[in-house]
Structure 1
Amino acid sequence: MRVLVSGGAGYIGSHTVIQLIAAGHDVLIVDNFANAKPTVVNRLEAITGRHLPVQAFDLRDVDKTEHLFAHEQLDAVIHFAGFKAVGESVEKPLEYYENNLGTTFSLVRAMRRHGVAKLVFSSSATVYGTDQESATEDRPTSATNPYGWTKVMQEQILRDVAVADPTMRIALLRYFNPVGAHESGTIGEDPTGIPNNLMPFIAQVAVGRREKLRVFGDDYDTPDGTGVRDYIHVEDLAAGHVAALARLARTDDPISTWNLGTGTGTSVLELLHAFERAVGRELPYEVVERRAGDIATSYADPSRAQAELGWVAKKSIDDMCADQWRWQSQNPEGYPDA
């Protein structure tokens, strides 16, 4: 298939581009580079040995989106583009609703107008609200922050589109906590400013960019008192997208929902100690007050994805940390600006 990957220069998008090409697909990237560096594309081309066409614009631009679909032959879309920082969404709710919903409106309208019926959508475990322990796909959705609500809303919009247009084939992929990097160490997660997520923060402590890790609370009802999350290697996550795309080509269901996770929870301290094994030394940390809105435990029940996609997460926590450290140690300041 010829696949449009929106946000294809971002963290998860870039890893998925590599696996799409390995699976025999052609890829067209659209990215406005608000949260990604253009140098990512050069590295993707080096890894894949392929020239990757890129269109640099904001999908909320309806005219440019329409022009793209009118002039390119596309078979499917994987939609990653969107703002994704929970804390920032609380500070800037209007920007999050406008951006995340607006890109989806523009994209899906153009898809329907030009007969592109297959869509894989990047959703999130945040749609389970505070009920994220062993979460199954039939659990009611809710959210605790504007970012999460944008995902709940986008899922609902896509369900309604699938009812209105039963020719559509839509996959909603609910991620848990993507971490790690490509085994080459040349592409990985490069968050802007202070990392919002645990693994890149630990990696920046290890490389000397941060003084120490702050552990937000050690009094949760978990084995060691720290929060438990379902960490999934970004390479396994990318493979889940390729599997979902293949499934859309052979299903009669207008809409399908799959969790992508390992089904196993790892605590903050367990992840820290796994990263210490990768680095070969202890890393400084301090326990501070709980962070507002954090829940004790979040992990997936990925059995539906295993049964219906034939997909299973293969990489261990130690694999995730080793690959993250290879990326961070080779790129201590992240991607260069040019």
Structure 2
Amino acid sequence: MKILVTGGLGFIGSHTVVELQNEGFEVVVIDNLSNSSEDVLKGIEAITGKKPLFEKLDLREKSVVQDFFKRHSDVNGVIHFAASKAVGESVGNPLLYYENNINSLVYLLQELEKKESANFIFSSSCTVYGQAETMPINEDSAIQPAMSPYGNTKQIGEEIITDVAKVSGINAVLLRYFNPIGAHPSVEIGELPIGVPQNLVPFITQTGIGLRKELMVYGNDYPTPDGTCIRDYIHVVDLAKAHVIALQRLLNKKNEEKVETFNLGTGVGSSVLEVINAFEKVSGKKLAYQIVDRREGDVTLAYANTDKANKVLGWKTQLSLEQAMESAWKWEQKIRS
């Protein structure tokens, strides 16, 4: 059974390819390598014993997408990760985000709409909730106005998929992730250090290894116990496994609606300072950090209610914050050695 994974050499994509191959799926990966590397294929092969089929393509070109589906008419399911994903960058360059994240989605759906039936897993985000009014956040929480163009592209993306599914053979699952961190326990794949990191943990590990003099903590005056932002940090391996379970649900026609939505998190919020403490515990290092002003687009508090994913998908996180930080630290040490 052939599954297309777009952005399959990225952080979450590569871990999902591993889990798919471990479950016996034939995987074809599309990636434009703008935020990844072909070397990731070697890591996937080292873990699974098999290199997935890979095509370097840009999904923002409609003719390229059309040509791909002509050549791979036997694709049974699509897991769509390919997107730009940095909140801060999206605030400064919104058009890049609308082009990358919306165009590629539309072109994929246009091809899938031609099929009698198609299965689509969408990489969404807890940013669709904006600053939610109540915690923990469940799937029925109000969708607040997005706090960044990135978050807006995820909101719009979900709406597009829902509209298209109503009038086509497409069945979809929208997976709203909280904050993916960590690396594969084999340390063969992890988050690549391309450009400036876009989330907290690579900043922590890069500071720990001496690449950065100190870590910037954006704001300690939030209405939280220690004044720093709280997020739900989920191990990337747990997250990847959820994609395979969601895909199998669609392939086995177990979905109860044309479009289903699930939160993927641990259900526990951790502050920036708590994440720093977890790193210090597993690494034995003291981390230098400086409190600076708040960053535009950051929400105060976000952690998931995962009851729906637990009950309906039978999925639950297995790995702790400390295990995630330990794997991230081992990965950092490996790529710098």
TM-score clears 0.5: yes
- 1:214 Cα deviation after fit: 1.1
Establish whether residue 159 from structure 1 lines up as the match of residue 162 from structure 2.
yes
- 1:92 Cα deviation after fit: 1.1
- What one-letter code is carried by the residue in structure 2 that aligns with 1:31? D
Moved more, 128-137 or 266-275: 128-137
CA distance 1:79–1:230, shift in 2 (3 Å): same
Moved more, 118-127 or 246-255: 246-255
Moved more, 321-330 or 109-118: 109-118
Scaled by the length of structure 2, what TM-score is found? 0.96
SS of residue matched to 1:151: helix
Alignment of 1:83-232 (within 5 A): 83-115=84-116, 117-131=118-132, 133-141=135-143, 142-165=145-168, 167-232=169-234
SS of residue matched to 2:65: helix
- 1:164 Cα deviation after fit: 1.2
Scaled by the length of structure 1, what TM-score is found? 0.95
- What one-letter code is carried by the residue in structure 1 that aligns with 2:197? P
SS of residue matched to 2:241: helix
CA distance 1:275–1:329, shift in 2 (3 Å): same
- 1:151 Cα deviation after fit: 0.4
Does the 8 A contact of 1:128 with 1:143 survive in 2? yes
Which residue number corresponds to residue 29 of structure 1?
Answer: 29
- Between the aligned residues of both structures, percent identity stands at 45
Alignment of 1:296-315 (within 5 A): 296-315=300-319
Matches of 2:222 and 2:93, distance apart in 1: 29
SS of residue matched to 2:336: coil
Matches of 2:104 and 2:239, distance apart in 1: 22
- 1:307 Cα deviation after fit: 0.8
- 1:140 Cα deviation after fit: 2.3
Does the 8 A contact of 1:70 with 1:114 survive in 2? no
Moved more, 65-74 or 3-12: 65-74
Does the 8 A contact of 2:131 with 2:300 survive in 1? no
Matches of 1:39 and 1:19, distance apart in 2: 18
Which residue number corresponds to residue 80 of structure 1?
Answer: 81
Runs (4+) off by over 3 Å: none
SS of residue matched to 2:113: helix
CA distance 1:310–1:162, shift in 2 (3 Å): same
- What one-letter code is carried by the residue in structure 2 that aligns with 1:247? R
Does the 8 A contact of 1:69 with 1:114 survive in 2? no
